[in-house]
Amino acid sequence: MSNSGRSEPLPVLAGDLVDLGLSRGALRGHGWQRIYWGVHVVADVELDVKVRAQAGLLLHPVADAHLSHSTVAQLLGIPVPVDDEIHVTVHARRDRHYRAGLRPHFRAAPSDCAQFRGMPISAALQLFVELAATLPLVDTVVAGDHMVRHGFFTRDELVDYCARLRGKHVRKSRRAAALVRAEVDSPMETRLRLLLVFAGLPEPEVNFRIVGATGRLRRRLDLSYPRIRLIVEYDGRHHIERVGQWESDLDRREELDEGGWRIIVVTSAGIFHDPLRTIERVRRALVQRGVRVSPINEGWRAHFPVA
């Protein structure tokens, strides 16, 4: 197997290199590095997810093998928890090949596949189901919100696809799909919305638009309760980056105040370290604005363990 004509070196099976005349001792030298047992690449190549994925496919030389699960999510830039294992799916149990850092999966049903940089991967809707089967619910919805936002599929397509599912992981997939929303801008906005929903609070509206008298867009609110003019805003900045931004934020705040809006600002600490305080702040504001709210549902704790 040769890498000639390629723009970058590719992983190679050790047996192929030996057949071409390279000794196994040379493979242990400085010019090569091992990705998995039996798969090598030249020493100056970074072992990123793409290279390790290529190596994983080399060890599964069957026509229906494809990359799947969080490996595909990482390749496509979909936010998922860090996973150093490479996931490959095949359709016969005997075709699975185990190595440290490589996780093969067996799938009985035919796969929906796509291509990414010459590699077969799970198609987007099937990928969502794979993530629902292996990730916590919140992380799955984070991925789903991102995929809808970036055009992998629409929310309706996702819900319809999951409704037609049969077999394993149906309940997980349908529950996660039902919580996915369109036009969500960031994973932390997803987490904040789910924190409130799992605590039994009314679900805030995503991306509500405030328009002026002429119909021109004035403001776009990430999370809000428009009827009572309450905004719940995630702020990921640890400091004001520049004076211009600070002044713009002040102007925006004054404009919303004049319109009768109240803003509750939540930082990452309010999600990862003290989520109960965030829930209580929003619940108190809802009550103050005349909303009848049930007692806090303790079910949120299962999804937001305190760091």
Mean pLDDT of 219-223: 90
pTM exceeds 0.75, yes or no? yes
- CATH topology (fold) of 187-302: Endonuclease; Chain A (3.40.960)
Q: Locate the domains of the chain by residue range.
A: 136-181, 187-302
- Is 16 buried (19+), middle (13-18) or exposed (0-12) by CB count in 10 A? middle
Mean pLDDT of 210-218: 73
- Is 229 buried (19+), middle (13-18) or exposed (0-12) by CB count in 10 A? middle
Q: How far is Cα 236 from Cα 264, in angstroms, rounded to an integer? A: 14
- The percentage of residues in the chain with a pLDDT greater than 70, rounded to a whole number, is 88
Q: How far is Cα 200 from Cα 297, in angstroms, rounded to an integer? A: 5
Would you state the pLDDT for residue 39? 93
Contacts of 145 (CB under 8 A, 6+ apart): 180, 181, 184, 187, 189, 190
Mean pLDDT of 85-99: 96
* pLDDT band, very low/low/confident/very high, at 4 (cuts 50, 70, 90): very low
Model confidence pLDDT, tens digit, residues 120-167: 999 999 999 999 999 999 999 999 999 999 999 999 999 999 999 988
Would you state the pLDDT for residue 259? 82
Would you state the pLDDT for residue 168? 82
